Amino acid sequence: MPGRLQDKAALITGAGSGIGLESSILFAQEGANVLLVDVNLPAAEKVQKLIADRFPNVKSAAFKADVGKEEDVKAAVDKAVELFGRLDFNNAGIMHPADDNALNTEEKIWDLTHTINVKGVWWGCKYAILAMRNNPVDEAKGLHTGGSIINTASFVAIMGAATPQLAYTASKGAVLAMTRELAMVHAREGIRFNSICPGPLKTPLLMDFLNTPEKRDRRLVHLPMGRFGEAVEVAKGALFLASDDSSYMTGTDFKVDGGLTSAYVTPI
């Protein structure tokens, strides 16, 4: 049985941990060739080795890039095109521990967060668009194989929290708005853009931050399912958006949040 991403290529940023790690494994399992991009090269290499062992028919490589630097993002896309010939895409981000409310957040934290989370996504999209314009049309399926670009936003872009991380929240709102507009601009080129909005997950990004039972309980009471999500549950959403199963979806804020953004009163 061919996988759901057979013959596709995926460039996954933040591939060394959390959602990126789980998506890399899942995409490879479904037949995609994967370029594992991370600022932490040893972490990406570890994932690459695991994929090479488990899925020997899939091409994979680890690549060091800081998505907060345009030249790094371009180099990563060039590498994916060189290795795999065609390209689909994905994105990473940070949540800084010193990110706070309007009064306490320092400008340098704001700028760093926006450089990685917003400019990083813009640059990722920019170079992916240029690469995808060279992808062939699949005459048999009648589909343009332009590609699918998935930008990781967050539930905090949709709902307010009294536990503020202002720079992060604003950056994720920018990802949603930017993704929607890109979806419209490139709709007739067959390039699809969707945002994925994870709820709070059990990944290092959040768990390092929620490092006491009190901090975790402050959030858990608002989660309809009574638990944090797993990175692999978001990776499965990303797989759907990356595959042709979602061929009529573009410009969507795709929520994988355990019902959080639909909640008023949650079960006890």
User: Site map for ligand NAD, 79-98, x if CB under 6 A?
Assistant: -------------xxxx---
Residue 231 interacting with ligand NAD (CB under 6 A):
yes
Residue 34 interacting with ligand NAD (CB under 6 A):
no
Instruction: Return the structure tokens found at 212.
Output: 């006491």
Stretch that binds ligand NAD, among 17-25, 48-56, 96-104, 132-140 (CB under 6 A): 17-25
Task: Using CB atoms within 10 Å of the CB of residue 193, give its burial: 0 to 12 exposed, 13 to 18 middle, 19+ buried.
Answer: buried
Rounded-to-integer distance, Cα 79 and Cα 96, Å:
29
Residue 190 beta carbon to ligand NAD: minimum distance, rounded to whole angstroms? 26
Residue 15 beta carbon to ligand NAD: minimum distance, rounded to whole angstroms? 7
**φ, ψ at 101 (rounded to 5°):** -90, -175
The torsion of the CA quartet 68, 123, 74, 42, rounded to 10 degrees, works out to: 40
Nearest alpha carbon to residue 96 among 83, 81, 85, 111: 111
Rounded-to-integer distance, Cα 142 and Cα 82, Å:
26
Q: Assess contact for 244 and 141: CB atoms under 8 A.
A: yes
Residue 201 interacting with ligand NAD (CB under 6 A):
yes
User: Site map for ligand NAD, 38-77, x if CB under 6 A?
Assistant: xxx--x---------------------xxxx---------
- 131-190 binders of ligand NAD (CB under 6 A): 152, 154
Residue 266 beta carbon to ligand NAD: minimum distance, rounded to whole angstroms? 18
Q: Which residues are catalytic?
A: 168
Nearest alpha carbon to residue 46 among 25, 27, 26: 25
Q: Which of 10, 11, 19, 238 binds ligand NAD (CB under 6 A)?
A: 19
Quote the crossing angle between the two packed helices 120-132 and 166-185, to the nearest 10°: 20
Stretch that binds ligand NAD, among 137-145, 176-184, 185-193, 202-210 (CB under 6 A): 202-210
Q: Judged by CB under 6 A, how many residues of this single chain contact ligand NAD?
A: 30
Query: Which chain residues interact with ligand NAD by CB under 6 A?
Result: 13-14, 16-20, 38-40, 43, 65-68, 92-95, 116, 152, 154, 198, 200-201, 203-206, 231
